[in-house]
Amino acid sequence: MSHESVDPGTSSQVGAGRLRAIQVGLLGIGTVGGGTFAVLARNREEIRRRAGRAICIATVADRDTARAAQVVAASGVDAAITADAWSVVQDPAIDIVVELIGGYTIARELVLAAIAAGKHVVTANKALLAKHGNEIFAAARAAGVMVAYEAAVGGGIPIIKALREGLAANRIEWIAGIINGTSNFILSEMRDKGLAFETVLREAQALGYAEADPTFDIEGIDAAHKLTLLSAIAFGTPIEFDRAHVEGISNLDALDIRYAAEFGYRIKLLGITRRTPAGLELRVHPTLISERRLIANVEGVMNAVLVKGDAVGSTLYCGAGAGAEPTASAVIADLIDVARTLSADPEHRVPHLAFQAESITAVPILPMADVHTSCYLRMRVLDRPGVLADIARALADQGVSIEAMVQKEPGVGEASVDIIMLTHPTIERSVDAAITLIEALPAVQGRVTRLRREPLL
């Protein structure tokens, strides 16, 4: 399959130029693959004007060849179709392999095979890179090929490029991101409409914003995959997904969203990574953010990443974090980047993980008990004298000080009330100990709800 079959008009212009068309093998033509195919076809002239050469999908590999044929036909351009991804990664005519299959197993094998065959790789697979990125980047380095993954974090937002290149002058201090659109949609709907988690999850599934098995999205795993990549390229460390603290939103009570709002806060599922003298923080959890902060107002399926650098200060990047064409936008930007590096010697390229491989240094990742956070605590207590004093004593004994507190009036006929406290920043092990003490008090009913609060300054 030569580029002529994709776009005769473009190919003749390229023939008049200096650079041959780039031949791409596309593995997987589902949602993002279909978007990539469609955008490359629709904007081929715009892309050629920028890249100085055509970028053509020569071959599409998908188990569902009928669906692949349909997508290709709908785009009005031509490409070979095969069910055999292995033939694509070994095809001598292919310059770049785009992996959009997902998952850890076959995707890993195909990516490693493509690298071994000297192909450059573009992937949107955050799970693969979070789990096997160190191995994949080492193989790519040994083979002298690029592995580009802008689409793996933040969909179409060029956040990897911003961190790796745009902010390369900075010592990065921290990153905080809304990097899972599904959970942000659910939280926005819970707040807007006062609905329960389960109700909104079903709505999100009906709208196609959540998958049939939503675990990765709602339990924070997808956000942790992405955060792990951001952390490595921000701080020049290996990828250490297994060390991330991960909490999702499935246990979040609509009540806490309402109480947080009374204090002027919104709750977002944030991925946070921060450099501290003792080590790195790497954590995903529901977080209270002042509603006056821009990122607190990023609603629905939108993503946003806030980066604090020592020179630039805070910069914020927002946009669609998922979807066929936003993700395709990032995949194709990577294709153009890789096309430009084809002739460059590897030592002049932007390193895979932003830092030169020999400069990557492991930094300890702090256990959550060693992280300093401000907390939101909610507890249900019997409405009788002395309870508040006991709770305040438990907190004080652990060195946890209270910044704000509200005690709700009991409902009609109710004997217990909600107490909500915001604490000053404290090491988490002290809060853990205080919560244990509070939950042991006879007047305290059930568990204490603890959420974290971040100033993001």
Residues 21-60 that bind a copy of itself (CB under 8 A): 35, 39-40, 42-43, 46-52
* CA gap 378, 444 in Å, rounded: 11
- Between 53 and 119, CB nearer to a copy of itself: 53
The three-state secondary structure class of 93 is: coil
User: CB of 297: closest distance to a copy of itself in angstroms?
Assistant: 6
Residues in 396-455 at the binding interface with a copy of itself, rule: CB under 8 A: none
Q: Cβ closer to a copy of itself: 259 or 355? A: 355
| Residue 85 vs 332, nearer CB to a copy of itself | 332
How far apart CA 137 and CA 152 sit, in angstroms, is: 15
Distance CA 372, CA 455 (A): 12
* 193 is an active site residue: no
Instruction: Report the amino acid identity of residue 391.
Output: I
Residue whose CB is less far from a copy of itself, 117 or 350: 350
In three-state secondary structure terms, 149 is coil
- Contact status, residue 275 vs residue 235, Cβ threshold 8 Å: yes
Tokens 């009374």 belong to which residue?
A: 262
132-151 binders of a copy of itself (CB under 8 A)? 150
- Total residues binding a copy of itself (CB under 8 A): 72
Question: 233: how many CB neighbours lie within 10 A of its CB?
Answer: 22
Q: C-alpha distances in angstroms, 52 versus 41, 168, 337?
A: 16, 26, 12
List the interface residues with a copy of itself, window 80-119 (CB under 8 A).
Answer: none
Residues 161-180 that bind a copy of itself (CB under 8 A): 161-162, 164-171
| Three-state DSSP state, 47 | helix
User: Shortest distance, CB of residue 359 to a copy of itself, whole angstroms?
Assistant: 4
Q: Please measure the distance between the N-terminal and C-terminal CA atoms of the chain and give it in whole angstroms.
A: 53
Give residues 310-329 in contact with a copy of itself (rule: CB under 8 A): 310-320, 323, 325-326, 328-329
Whether the CB-CB separation of 327 and 151 falls below 8 Å is answered with: yes
| Between 55 and 221, CB nearer to a copy of itself | 55
> What is the H or E stretch that residue 136 is in?
helix 126-143
Instruction: Pick between residue 51 and residue 267 the one whose CB is nearest to a copy of itself.
Output: 51
**Binding residues among 270-299 for a copy of itself as defined by CB under 8 A:** 294, 297-298
Site for a copy of itself in 338-377 (CB under 8 A): 340-345, 347-351, 354-356, 359
| Encoded amino acid at 118, one letter | G
Strand 416-423, strand 372-382: pairing:
antiparallel
How near is the Cβ of 129 to a copy of itself at its closest, in Å?
19
Q: How many CB atoms lie within 10 A of CB 13?
A: 15
> Pick the catalytic residue: 226, 268, 308, 408?
226
CB of 305 to a copy of itself, least distance (A): 11
Cα-Cα-Cα-Cα torsion 247, 253, 255, 256, nearest 10 degrees, comes to 0
Structure tokens at 405: 């507190």
- Write down the least CB distance from residue 28 to a copy of itself, Å: 18
**Residue (320 or 422) nearer to a copy of itself, CB:** 320
Angle between helices 181-193 and 197-207 (to 10 degrees): 130
CA distance 88 to 107: 13
Residue among 1, 333, 379, 420 that touches a copy of itself (CB under 8 A): 333
List binders of a copy of itself among 216-275 (CB under 8 A): 236
User: What's the CA gap between 98 and 108, in Å, rounded?
Assistant: 13
Give least dist CB 276 to a copy of itself, A: 17
Shortest gap between Cβ of 209 and a copy of itself (angstroms)? Answer: 15
Residues forming the active site: 226
